[in-house]
Amino acid sequence: MPVASLRAMMTHRAARLDGLGTTVFTEMTALATRTGAINLGQGFPDVDGPAAVVEAAVAALRGGHNQYAPLPGVPALRDAVLDHQRETYGLEPEDVLITFGATEAIAAALLALCDRGDEVVVLEPYYDSYAACIAFAGARRRPVTLRPPEFRLDGDALRAAISPRARVLLLNTPHNPTGRVLDRRELDAVAAACLEHDLVCVSDEVYEHLVYDGRHLPPATLPGMAQRTLTISSVGKSFSFTGWKIGWCSGPAELVAAVRSVKQYLTFAGGTPLQHAAAAALRLNPSPLPALRDDLRARRDQLCAGLRDAGLRPLVPAATYFVNADVGTGAEAFCSALPERCGVVAIPTGAFYDDRAAAPTLVRFAFCKRSEVIAEAARRLATLRAS
């Protein structure tokens, strides 16, 4: 094959793979770099997490923890996660696996649990790796749409999405990008569906500690659910170390073993010194988690106030790093023009839906930034009123 054809084929393949998720982050980050705009598109903090945790990482690096970790993860972190689940939620998972961020746990779980043609019921809008990983597993996604402004999970819509091919219910609570924390009634519907249709619940709970109003309820705590739920979380969001990519999944031994079987051929193990530091983070006493959460709550409120001042209508989120605002016009065009208009980057919420028209005028802004950055973004957004 001539090199030109090979290149064209590769370009086509890459585009097809990109199309499985959303490329909006790459596009918007490039736009932010080109225009020097404040990037409220992607959800990562602009300050590091607790210094004591960084010191623990340095100590682990200097202490010789630099070779492959065991496949299941460093024992200190596995124990810390199991203790965390017990102390925080009263859960007693049979096993735990350390992964390369929650993202690897999600990918390995879907690859482990789905056969070609199986269906994965998933809340939409969704974190963009979900659709790609479902496709990698040869499965089909059956979205259950959370509609603005309430973004509530409708039990009838959930039941309607479950066919005899359904195998996994992929849940995310607290939920990105809506900022919803599923309540007991919604989780009862999830549990009823899983029990009735014999589904495995894969529960992505990476925002478990970033809840500002209400309380996070892990699906595994519901009657009958611990035996069929794989609970996934990570150190990134909770402790403001998103670049570390240390995650985990816990649950019944057979489920965790299935995920481990896939993970061994994906990355085997990684981040040994950071696994030690993550264990230290979970063991810090007193825990820094409430202060980190309260700090983020203040920044949520600051950005919501700024959005209101700019004439936009924020849907105040109960959790996560993100607020969606109704901009009163087409969100995609609004976001494309925003960097040039006022030097801010944000993401059209529709990008997280299969059906982009589900949230045509909503835009997602990240508030996990320093207070002065949010103040400057709010000042810039306020100029929209005049333009």
Ligand X SMILES: Cc1ncc(COP(=O)(O)O)c(C=O)c1O
Nearer of residues 45 and 72 to ligand X, judged by Cβ? 45
Nearer of residues 234 and 361 to ligand X, judged by Cβ? 234
Nearer of residues 102 and 342 to ligand X, judged by Cβ? 102
Interface characters, 334-353, with ligand X (x: CB under 6 A): --------------------
Find the shortest distance in angstroms from Cβ 190 to ligand X.
16
Find the shortest distance in angstroms from Cβ 279 to ligand X.
16
Q: Judge contact between 148 and 324, C-beta under 8 A.
A: yes
Residues in the chain: 387
Among 172, 173, 238, 250, binds ligand X (CB under 6 A): 172
Reduce the secondary structure of 74-140 to three states and give it as a string. Answer: CHHHHHHHHHHHHHHHCCCCCEEEEEEHHHHHHHHHHHHHCCCCCEEEEEECCCCHHHHHHHHCCCE
Residues 6+ apart with CB under 8 A from 17: 132
Among 119, 204, 208, 326, binds ligand X (CB under 6 A): 204
Handedness of CA 157, 161, 162, 166 (dihedral sign): negative
Nearer of residues 180 and 380 to ligand X, judged by Cβ? 180
Find the shortest distance in angstroms from Cβ 233 to ligand X.
8
Nearer of residues 236 and 252 to ligand X, judged by Cβ? 236
Using DSSP's 3-state secondary structure scheme, residue 71 falls into: coil
Residue 176 lies near ligand X (rule: CB under 6 A): yes
Among 236, 314, 317, 339, binds ligand X (CB under 6 A): 236
Residue 247 lies near ligand X (rule: CB under 6 A): yes
Reduce the secondary structure of 193-228 to three states and give it as a string. Answer: HHHHHCCEEEEECCCCCCECCCCCCCHHHCCCCHHH
Binding positions for ligand X, 119-138, rule CB under 6 A: 127
Q: What angle do CA 290, 239, 146 make, to 5 degrees?
A: 85
Q: Closest-CB residue for ligand X? A: 101
Residue 5, Cα to own-chain centre: how many angstroms?
38
* Nearest alpha carbon to residue 138 among 166, 110, 171, 165: 110
Nearer of residues 124 and 204 to ligand X, judged by Cβ? 204
Which residues are 317's β-sheet partners? none
Among 206, 222, 255, 278, binds ligand X (CB under 6 A): 206
Nearer of residues 177 and 343 to ligand X, judged by Cβ? 177
Find the shortest distance in angstroms from Cβ 206 to ligand X.
4
Number of residues that bind ligand X (CB under 6 A): 14
Binding positions for ligand X, 74-113, rule CB under 6 A: 101-103
Nearer of residues 289 and 342 to ligand X, judged by Cβ? 289
Q: What angle do CA 187, 350, 167 make, to 5 degrees?
A: 40
Find the shortest distance in angstroms from Cβ 62 to ligand X.
25
Q: Is 179 exposed, middle or buried (0-12, 13-18, 19+ CB in 10 A)?
A: buried
SS3 helix, strand, coil % of the chain, rounded to 5?
50, 15, 35
Among 31, 38, 40, 43, binds ligand X (CB under 6 A): 43
**Residues in touch with ligand X (CB under 6 A):** 43, 101-103, 127, 172, 176, 204, 206, 234, 236, 242, 245, 247
